């Protein structure tokens, strides 16, 4: 059995990562791992096992600080390596999505040549507002949500510096976002389907729109804008 490539989606919570993963799944990327289906959250296209590993590497998603104990770090890297060996290599393109991967990326794929990456971002105020009102995993204040946006996206940019990859802007119109995704898929070797995209992507489900970018996030947001896939 050959080693396959793994497609990683990098993006902050509430930034369109689930929508993107569902689109790519419909276009043939395998986001399900047969050995651990018991821990699969279909709504978020994520695995509890991956989330759990990442939550051991950092304190938790609301406090994304890498643990500094050298012995613990070595142990966790071994656990991640074992998980990858046992679950991620099959005879097709495997997709993996967890916003925490923006922070923990080096634990998973620092020196790997068998990965593809696709990033996505959303305006910081919209993410902050979405985190403020959601109940599923516990609310966080708007201010804390915006600060988390900055932390996660700073890390996304650092990964992009080392491993350049296409970045999508979730705030584009449906037509423009579809064009961006089509270009990204072409570069990643994924067969794009406008029908699948149109069925999954819903403009009306994107809300909490805000005109203003906070000063703390402006530089990060501007840098993301520079690096996103251009629209022609």
Q: For residue 20, give the CATH number of its domain.
A: 3.40.50.300
- Give the long-range contacts of residues 67-71, CB within 8 A, separation 24 or more: none
CB distance 209 to 232 below 8 Å? no
Q: What is the pLDDT of residue 168?
A: 98
Residue 146 lies in a domain: yes
Residue 192 lies in a domain: yes
> What is the rounded distance in angstroms from the CA atom of residue 194 to the CA atom of residue 16?
17
Q: pLDDT tens, position by position, for the chain (232 residues)?
A: 456 789 999 999 999 999 999 999 999 998 887 666 666 778 888 888 888 899 999 988 888 888 778 898 899 999 998 888 888 776 678 899 999 999 999 999 876 778 999 999 999 999 998 898 875 666 788 899 999 999 999 999 999 999 999 999 999 999 999 999 999 999 999 999 999 999 999 876 666 566 678 888 999 999 999 999 987 6
Residue 1 lies in a domain: no
pLDDT in tens, 99-114: 999 999 999 987 677 8
List all residues 6 or more positions away from 90 whose beta carbon is below 8 Å from its beta carbon.
1, 4, 30
Give the residues across from 40 on adjacent strands: 47
Residue 203 lies in a domain: yes
pLDDT in tens, 134-155: 756 667 888 999 999 999 999 9
Q: What is the pLDDT of residue 2?
A: 54
Domain that holds residue 89: 6-226
CB distance 18 to 45 below 8 Å? yes
Q: How many domains does the chain have?
A: 1
> What is the rounded distance in angstroms from the CA atom of residue 38 to the CA atom of residue 34?
9
Residue 164 lies in a domain: yes
Residue 61 lies in a domain: yes
**What single DSSP character describes residue 172?**
S
Residue 67 lies in a domain: yes
pLDDT in tens, 188-211: 999 999 999 999 998 766 665 666
Indicate the helix (H) or strand (E) that contains 224: helix 215-227
Residue 231 lies in a domain: no
């Amino acid at each position: 059995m050959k080693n396959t490539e793994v497609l990683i989606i990098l993006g902050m919570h509430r930034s369109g990562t689930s929508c993107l993963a569902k689109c790519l799944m419909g276009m043939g990327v395998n986001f399900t791992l047969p050995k651990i289906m018991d821990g699969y959250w279909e709504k978020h296209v994520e695995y509890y096992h991956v989330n759990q590993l990442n939550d051991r590497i950092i304190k938790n998603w609301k406090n994304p600080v890498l643990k500094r104990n050298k012995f613990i770090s070595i142990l966790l890297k071994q656990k991640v390596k074992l998980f990858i060996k046992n679950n991620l290599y099959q005879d097709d393109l495997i997709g993996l999505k967890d916003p925490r991967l923006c922070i923990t990326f080096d634990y998973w794929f620092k020196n790997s040549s068998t990965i593809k990456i696709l990033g996505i971002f959303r305006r910081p105020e919209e993410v902050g507002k979405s985190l403020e009102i959601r109940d599923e995993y516990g609310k966080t204040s708007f201010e804390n949500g915006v600060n988390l946006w900055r932390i996660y996206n700073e890390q996304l940019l650092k990964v992009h510096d080392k491993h350049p990859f296409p970045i999508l802007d979730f705030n584009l119109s449906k037509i423009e976002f579809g064009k961006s995704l089509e270009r990204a898929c072409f570069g990643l070797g994924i067969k794009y389907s406008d029908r699948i995209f149109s069925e999954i992507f819903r403009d009306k489900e994107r809300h909490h729109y805000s005109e203003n970018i906070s000063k703390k996030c402006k530089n990060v947001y501007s840098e993301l804008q520079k690096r996103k896939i251009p629209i022609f």
